[in-house]
Amino acid sequence: MADLTDAQSSAVYKLLMGLMKPGKACPVCGSSAWILVNAVMKKPAADFGRPMPIVVLVCVNCKYNLDFSAVGLGIVDSSMNVIIPGDPSE
Ligand SMILES: [Zn+2]
């Protein structure tokens, strides 16, 4: 697991919000309130391969989780080093 600074968390949150459809509705309950877990975590692989680094949005209302590939979005490199620039407004 790699912790994110406040500035990095803010940048990741903005990145993810920019990917979501207008309204940003939770697919389970329809809420549009999300919080970001302030760390890059590793999602276990099923039967083969290495665990996948992910960032996780949690629906404030029903706690549904959305997992995003942290490598694919340029948040960490393949060694789990955080590489996303922090949000300068934080
Ligand atoms: Zn929800």
Question: Ligand 1 centre from 67 Cα, in Å?
Answer: 14
- Is 88 inside a domain boundary? no
Q: What is the pLDDT of residues 47-86, one digit of tens each?
A: 778 889 999 999 999 999 999 999 999 999 989 999 999 9
Question: Ligand 1 centre from 65 Cα, in Å?
Answer: 8
Task: Count how many domains the chain has.
Answer: 1
- Is 84 inside a domain boundary? no
This prediction's pTM: 0.91
Question: Ligand 1 centre from 58 Cα, in Å?
Answer: 8
CA 3 – CA 34 distance, rounded (Å)? 19
Question: Ligand 1 centre from 49 Cα, in Å?
Answer: 30
- Is 34 inside a domain boundary? yes
Domain limits at 58? 2-69
- Is 25 inside a domain boundary? yes
